[in-house]
Amino acid sequence: MEIGIDSFASAMYGDNNTLSSVDAMEQLLQRIEFADQAGLDVFGIGEHHKKEFLDSATAVILSAAAARTKNIRLTSAVTVLSAADPVRVYQSFATLDLISKGRTEIVVGRGSAIEAYPLFGYDLRDYDALFKEKLELLLQIRDNEFVSWEGKFRPALDNLPVYPRALQEKLPIWLGVGGTPESFIRAGSLGLPLMVAVIGGQTHRFKPLVDLYREAGKAAGYKPNELKVGLHSPGYVGSTTEKAIEEYYPGYAELWTKLGYERGWPPVTKGKFDGLIDNLGVLIVGGPERAAEKILRHSEALGGVDRFTFQMDNAGLTHKQLMNAIELIGAKLIPLIKKG
């Protein structure tokens, strides 16, 4: 199993934050560089268009990281494809693939945050139709140097080439999904790797959806080893489980209570949090041993997971705490995962 981190390039370290955007970006690049040195497999950057995040130009951040790293794979997490031009998405990540010497991937999705749609002039009523059409075009560009294509939301292409071409013959494109059965089936039917974002509740409840993905892939003629499953969850690794909870809970409660107010969720309580960090809950918060045990338990519950990524930089944690977590993941958690 590959282990990595997904970041939203948060510039928000609690209410008393005085960190500048310049310093926040530099610290993020330091964390990616350190994750490479610590032996993590992958680092992903999300896409948001909000004041508290610096990840609106994902490929630019990853290109800066590519110049400072050697082995770690670099990916989006996710690219909001519905509100983007697939030609430019491919060009940006193909360029990144050249800079990184073949370490680039893309995770595409519709996006749970919707601010990109009005910003780029798209109608939310076309939410699914936009993604379906643009995914089709992106895959066609990925697989063909010259493209002929016609759709509803973008001007047609008539045997036009798209350059540059990625170093990898088939640039990896994962499909990021939440809880919509159609999305799991779509990924399986296309034979695309699946990245499941589980941010609440109990992870094992996603097993029927993952089964739909594997069944759809099998029906489409793909072999089991071609149908990769990734799991993205909020979490944090501390020196001990008690220390991890002490450091993680205050920022998590603040952020998710704020999000809940915006989206109609109830506020976070310590009791609810305790349920999320128990054996079946989604949050991977603890010392290296507890975190590794829980990741392996989640993998077994879902029928096998090929990649797990932590989302941990938007809970008010400091750069020092995040660097310490990366060190613990590389030095202690990953060996425990490999040992199984």
For the cut 90, the answer to whether the pLDDT of residue 309 exceeds it is yes
- Tell me: the pLDDT tens digits for 266-300? 888 999 999 999 999 999 999 999 999 999 999 99
Q: What residues contact 139, with CB distance under 8 A and at least 6 apart? A: 173, 190
For the cut 90, the answer to whether the pLDDT of residue 82 exceeds it is yes
- Tell me: the pLDDT tens digits for 103-141? 999 999 998 778 999 999 999 999 999 999 999 999 999
> According to the model, what pLDDT value does residue 13 have?
53
Assigned token pair, 298: 């989640």
DSSP string, 252-299: HHHHHHHHHHHHTPPPP-HHHHHHHTSSSBS-EEE-HHHHHHHHHHHH
- Tell me: the pLDDT tens digits for 169-209? 999 999 999 989 999 999 999 999 999 999 889 999 999 99
261 burial (CB, 10 Å; 0-12 / 13-18 / 19+) is: exposed
For the cut 80, the answer to whether the pLDDT of residue 152 exceeds it is yes
2-339 CATH fold: TIM Barrel (3.20.20)
Q: What is the value of pTM for the model shown?
A: 0.95
Q: Where are the domains of the chain?
A: 2-339
Report in angstroms the alpha-carbon separations of 123 from 37, 195, 312, 317, 333: 43, 25, 31, 36, 43
